[in-house]
Amino acid sequence: MIKMIIYLIALAVFLTQCFIMLFVYFNQRKPYKRALMNAYQSHTPVDEFFYFILIPCLNEEKVIQNTLNNVLKLPGQKQIIVIDDDSIDDTLIKVHQVDGPISIVERKLPNARTGKGDSLNYAMPTIQTFIRQHNLDPKNCIVGVIDADGVLSNNSILKLNDAFSNERNDAVQLRVKMKSPLKVLQTFQDIEFFTINHLTQLFRANLNAVALCGNGQFFRYSSITKKLGTTPWGNALLEDYELTLRMELKGLHIAYIADAYVDQEALRNVKKLVIQRARWSQGGFNCWKYMKQIIQSKKMSLSQKFDSYFFFFQPVLNLLADFSIIYLTIRFVFKHINNPEFLFVVLIALAIIGLFFGIIFTIIYMQELKLSDRAKLIINRGDIFNIKFHVHNILFSIGLISYIYIVLFFSLIIAIYHLISHQTTWNKTQRI
């Protein structure tokens, strides 16, 4: 009975999430189309703000030059700060080969490789010194973070300028997309980020609860250092969400940009995906330490608190639901094992029903790609490879979206094991 109740609660939560995302999609479709028509227009002078672009690196020789060249070609005033976390490959050599406003901050063991948050905090004194030496106005200084494989869309600075011209915005998160998703697993990640996470962020924007991502986050130097000091990031494995909570607890506002995005590489095998999501899950559990502050906070709104509570408890609910599904499925199979025709028909019917939302979000994804392509927003042609889906790719992608929870079940188990065993360090995912 308890297992059935858990399953029904999880199902109700899942259906509610899906219908909310569909409502957001249809509600925002027309405004989004209008915004894309003006994707390269800005009401703010291009040099209104000075950008510090932080790029944390650990063995990034394969991708760093492409990332640097992309940022350098963008308009506006900028200083790129590469934070090398004691790389043992040719990352630094590759960086030195690129000309432009680039600074290098080096960390060495044993004080290196202590987490992305520590790495980013290590660059903050460099920014402070640069601002003072060049007599910059801290209110007009923007700090951004992109991954070493991150590539910003050509209109990113224009849209960021417009967002930060509104003094209410203390931080901004760009939309995230996967780079040239050729394989089915990469396509799943692209649908997840470019469509599902995008719709979630749009809904969160209505709750004033936009979450920062590890890639494509930007904040106003003056307001963040005033409220959080010069070490704003924490040591959670999910440092981006921890920074989100820290900002919300101080009453800072985060906005979301839907019509500019940052590209990043998708993982190519299931093992790396499971390990990555286990790290993210453990990072989410790390953030439970803020629960008491959130409950007692007078600055966080009720909607922000609700979003945080849901973020904290959803993995637990998912884990319990997964166990319930496994138990109920096995029980159902054994109960009807002597009636194989009925068993086969029911299981096939349930499997087809389970594909429904996978089909819906795949269709939305393809529509989003077409809209972005028409607006000339696409960074490279490989990003819209999936506009012309082959039938087998469509079917596999739909199946993966619909049943990815089976794979990610193992991520939750790994995350909980690491928490219990007090393992807090992870090996970085290697570039291919």
C-alpha 133/C-alpha 127 separation (Å) is 10
Query: What is 41-303's CATH number, 3.90.550.10, 1.10.8.50, 3.40.50.300, 1.20.1290.10?
Result: 3.90.550.10
In the chain, which stretches have pLDDT less than 70?
A: 389-393, 426-432
Determine the pLDDT at residue 335: 83
Determine the pLDDT at residue 347: 78
Among the listed residues 233, 114, 186, 177, the one whose alpha carbon sits nearest the alpha carbon of residue 371? 177
First to last CA, the chain: 47
CATH 3.90.550.10 residue spans of the chain: 41-303
Determine the pLDDT at residue 191: 92
- Strands 141-145 and 77-85, how do they pair? unpaired
Determine the pLDDT at residue 28: 92
- Could you please report the per-residue DSSP string of 196-240? IIHHHHHHHHHTT-PPP-SSSEEEEHHHHHHHHTT----SSSSHH
Tens of pLDDT along 98-107? 999 999 999 9
Determine the pLDDT at residue 349: 82
Among the listed residues 399, 427, 120, the one whose alpha carbon sits nearest the alpha carbon of residue 276? 427
For the entire predicted model, the pTM comes to: 0.93
